[in-house]
Amino acid sequence: MIELKDITVSFGGVKPISGLTVTMGGRIQGLIGPNGAGKTTLLNVLSGFVTPVSGSITLFGENFGPVRAEARLENGITRSFQTPQVAADLTAADNIRVSFDSLGLSRADAHTQLTEVLALTGLTAQAEVMAGALDGYSLRMVEIARCLAAKPRLIMLDEPAAGLAADERARLMTLLKRLPDMGAQVLIIDHDFDLIGDLCDQVAVLDFGKLVASGPTQETLANPKVRAAYLGEDEEDAA
Amino acid sequence: MTATHIQDVTQSGGPTQPGFVKRMWRDNAGTIITLGLLITIVPFLPVYWIRVFTSMMAVAAAAQGVAILHERIGHVSLAGIGMMAVGGWIGLRVAHGLGLPFEINLLVAAIGAGAIGALLGLPGIRHKGLIFALVTLMFAAGLHVVVSSVGFPDGGSGFWGRVSGSQERAFMARPAVAQSDHAYFIYTTLIVTLAFGLTYAILKSSAGRAWAMIRAGDAVAKSAGVNMKAARFKAFFLAGALSGIGGCLMAGSIGQLDGRSFDALQSLLLYGLVIVAGPWSLAAALIAAFLYRVFPALLDSWGVDGDIAMIIFGIALIHAIVNAPRGIAGQLQDLSALISSKFGGAAR
C-alpha cells in the first residue's frame, strides 16, 4: 500500500511533482501519464533517490521518508529501471546474489532462494552466463529476479515490457500476475494502455506532476479527463 | 521492519557454478601462464635483469590496486607509487624496529598501507573524477616531499628510524628462504601471485559483486541494497594493501629505499600504463608493471635512451583511449580467441 501525501519535488525552479496526494493500493497497481508527467520522478521518490521538498511517503503503514535508498531493499522495497541496469561483467546469478549479499543471507539460504528465483524467472539455464551476453528479455528477467530475491513487499517496474517481443511480453505478464499471490505489491509504470489494462487492477494517472485520476483500471482509463490528458482526446467528446 | 516473504516456489536442482580454481583458470589463464613462465625463465637471467623483474613484480602489486580502483569503483588514483612508498616505509620501520620475520613485516605493511589507503579514500566516498584524482596526486606529491627530505628508515631510532652521524645504514633483511637474488625473485613472484589470487577471490565475493554494481551505476547499486560507503572503503583498503605489499617487497629487494624513486609523476605514469594495459583484467597489472619497469630497461640495454619510453607510452595511451578501450589485455585476449578459433576450425 503506497500512500503519498502532498508530495512536491523541485529541481531548481522546475517542479515535476507538485502537491501530489494519492493512495495506490492495487495488487498490481498501474501508474501512467504522458511524457513529463512525473512518473519516473515519483518512482525515484519511492526508491529514495529523490527527496521531496515536502510531503510524506508511507509504505505499508510505515514512514519511508527518512529511509535511505540503500536500506529500502532490506525493507522489501525494490525496483527495476527503464533500461535494464545490470552489472555486465557479472553472471546472471551473481547479479541476483547481490540482493542476498545486501540482506546478509547465509550461503545455503542464498543458494536455495537463488534456485527458486532463477526458476521463477526462467533464467536457470543462463545462470552462469555473463549478463553482458544476455538478450534484452533476459536482462529484464535478471532485474526482476534481483528484486524478487529480496522477497519484496513492493516491486516497482519502470516500463518492464519496453522493447519486448509479443511472446516475451506474454511471459512477462504471466510472471507479473503471479507476484501478488507471493506477497508482493506490483507497481508498473508504462505508456502501454493495453498492458496496464490487462495487468493492473488499479491505476493512477499523472499529468504535469498532478493526479488526474485514480481507481479501478477500466473505470479510470475510461475517465474523460484521463483520455484527454493521455490520449489528447477532447474532454467533452470523450465524455 | 520485515519484508513479507514470497511463498516458496518448489523447484528441484539449482544453479551449478564451476569451482573456484576452475573459474580462476578460465578467467586468468594468460596471467597464470605468464607468472609461471616468469618464475621459470627469469632466475636464469643475469642478476641485473633478475632485479629489474623483481622490481616489476613489486610494481605489479601496486598496479593491481590502481586497476581495482579504476575499473571496479570508477576512481582515478594517482597515488599508486606513492602508496608503495607508504608500504615500503612501514615495512622498513617494522623490520628495523622490531626485527620481525619478513612475512610479518609484509603483513604489517599491507595492513598499514591499506588503512592509509582507506583514509585517503574518504574524499572518494563523496567525490569522483578529477577532484579525487587531484586529492590522490597531491597526496603522492606531499609524500614524495616527506620521503625525499626525511628519508626511509634505515636502522636509526625514534619515529623516523634514521641513522645519524657516522652510524652505518642498516639493510632490511630478506626472508630466510630467499636470500639470493633469484630466490627473492621467485619469492616476490609467489607473493604477488598470492595477492592476485586473493584479489580474484575478493572480486568473486560479495565485495566484488558490490563493486560491479557500483560500476553499473550508483542508482542500481543503491536499489540493490549495496552499502556504497562500505564497498568503496573496502576497495580503497585493498588497493592500499596491494601497494603496501609492493612497497615492502621493493624494500626487501634492495634493502633500502630512496625517496627520489617515489616522485608523484611516477604515480601518474603508472595510472596511464594501467589504462594502456586494460584494467578490467588481472593481467593488466603485469603488463603495466612490465612497461613501467622492464621496457625502459630494455631500451637502455639496446642503447636507446629509456626516457623515450615516455613518448611511446603517451602514444599508446592515446591509442588505448581512442581505439582499444580494453587495452593491451583486451587485444591479447582477442588475439588468443582468434588463434583458438583458427586452430579449432582446422581441427574440425
Full set of structural domains in chain A with CATH: 2-76+152-238 (3.40.50.300), 86-151 (no CATH)
| Residue pointed to by grid coordinates 639493510 | B171
The Cα of B210 is separated from the nearest Cα of chain A by a number of Å equal to 7
Q: Do A86 and B222 touch (CB under 8 A)?
A: no
Chain B neighbors of A62, CB-CB under 8 A: 1
A69 touches chain B (CB under 8 A): yes
Report field, pTM of the whole predicted structure over 0.90: no
Q: Which of B5, B7, B225 sits opposite A74 (nearest CB)?
A: B225
Name every residue whose Cβ is closer than 8 Å to that of residue A90 and which is 6 or more positions away in sequence. A98, A130, A131, B209, B212
Residue B151 pLDDT > 50, yes or no? yes
| Partner-chain contact B226 A118, CB within 8 Å | no
A211: closest CA of chain B, how far (Å): 26
Q: Which residues in B lie closer than 8 A to residue A150 (C-beta atoms)?
A: 3, 225
Quote ipTM for the complex. Answer: 0.90
**B290/chain A closest Cα distance in angstroms:** 26
Contact yes or no for B219 and A124 at CB 8 A: no
Contacts of residue B13, defined as CB under 8 A and 6 or more positions apart, other chains included, come to: A115, A124
pLDDT at B27 over 60: yes
Q: Does A50 touch chain B (CB under 8 A)?
A: no
Contact flag B227-A70 (C-beta cutoff 8 Å): yes
State whether residue A58 sits within 8 Å of chain B by CB: no
Confidence bin at B3 (pLDDT 50/70/90)? very low
Segment B206-240, tens digit of pLDDT? 999 999 999 999 999 999 999 999 999 999 999 99
Does B141 have pLDDT greater than 60?
yes
Do the Cβ atoms of B223 and A73 come within 8 Å?
yes
Confirm if B206 and A87 have CB atoms less than 8 A apart: no
Query: CB contact, 8 Å: A87 with chain B?
Result: yes
Average pLDDT, chain B: 90
Do the chains contact at B209 and A87, CB–CB below 8 Å?
yes
Measured CA distances, B51 to A9, A25, B173, B295 (Å): 62, 71, 16, 14
**What's the CA gap between B41 and B283, in Å, rounded?**
18
B219 neighbourhood in chain A, CB within 8 Å: 47, 49, 81, 85
Does the pLDDT value for residue B272 go beyond 80?
A: yes
State the average pLDDT over residues B5-13: 41
Separation of alpha carbons A162 and A140, rounded Å: 10
Residues 155-194 of A with CB under 8 A from B: 181-184
Minimum CA–CA partner of A71 in chain B: B225
What is the SS3 assignment for chain B?
Answer: CCCCCCCCCCCCCCCCCCCHHHHHHHHHHHHHHHHHHHHHHHHHCCHHHHHHHHHHHHHHHHHHHHHHHHHHHCCCCCCHHHHHHHHHHHHHHHHHHHCCCHHHHHHHHHHHHHHHHHHHCHHHHHCCHHHHHHHHHHHHHHHHHHHHHCCCCCCCECCCCECCCCCCCCCCCCCCCCCCHHHHHHHHHHHHHHHHHHHHHHHCCHHHHHHHHHHHCHHHHHHCCCCHHHHHHHHHHHHHHHHHHHHHHHHHHHCCCCHHHHCHHHHHHHHHHHHHHCCCCCHHHHHHHHHHHHHHHHHHHCCCCCCHHHHHHHHHHHHHHHCCCCHHHHHHHHHHHHHHHHHHHHHC
Put simply, the answer to whether A75 touches B3 (Cβ < 8 Å) is yes
CA angle A204/A210/A214 to nearest 5° reads 20
SS3 readout for A58-85: EECCEECCCCCHHHHHHHCEEECCCCCC
Q: Answer yes or no: do A69 and B223 touch at CB < 8 A.
A: yes
Quick check: B11 and A116 CB within 8 A? yes
| Residue of chain A whose alpha carbon sits nearest to that of B231 | A102
Long-range contact set of residues B199-207: C-beta below 8 Å, sequence gap at least 24:
B199/B64, B199/B68, B199/B238, B199/B242, B199/B282, B200/B24, B200/B27, B200/B28, B200/B282, B201/B20, B202/B238, B203/B72, B204/B20, B204/B23, B206/A97, B206/A98, B206/A101, B207/B231, B207/B234, B207/B235
Q: With an 8 Å Cβ cutoff, are A73 and B13 in contact?
A: no
A132 touching B, CB under 8 A? no
What residues in A contact B72, CB-CB < 8 Å? none
Residue pLDDT tens, chain A, 239 long? 899 999 999 988 888 999 999 999 999 999 998 888 899 999 999 999 999 999 999 999 999 888 899 999 999 999 999 999 999 999 999 999 999 999 999 999 999 999 999 999 999 999 999 999 999 999 999 999 999 999 999 999 999 999 899 999 999 999 999 999 999 999 999 888 888 999 999 999 998 889 999 999 999 988 888 888 776 766 555 55
What whole-number distance in Å separates Cα of residue B281 and Cα of residue B286?
A: 10
Which residue do the cell numbers 519486448 mark?
A164
Which pLDDT score, from 0 to 100, does residue B1 have?
A: 41
Facing residue for B216 by CB, picked from A69, A86, A115: A86
Contact A94 B224 (CB under 8 A): no
Task: Give the relative orientation of helices B228-254 and B47-73 as an angle to the nearest 10 degrees.
Answer: 170
Go through the domains of chain B in sequence order and give each one's CATH number. Answer: 3-163+170-264 (1.10.3470)
Q: Which of B14, B17, B224 sits opposite A102 (nearest CB)?
A: B224
Using the beta-carbon criterion (under 8 Å), do A103 and B225 form an inter-chain contact? Answer: yes
Picking from A74, A94, A111, the nearest residue to B14 by CB comes out as: A111
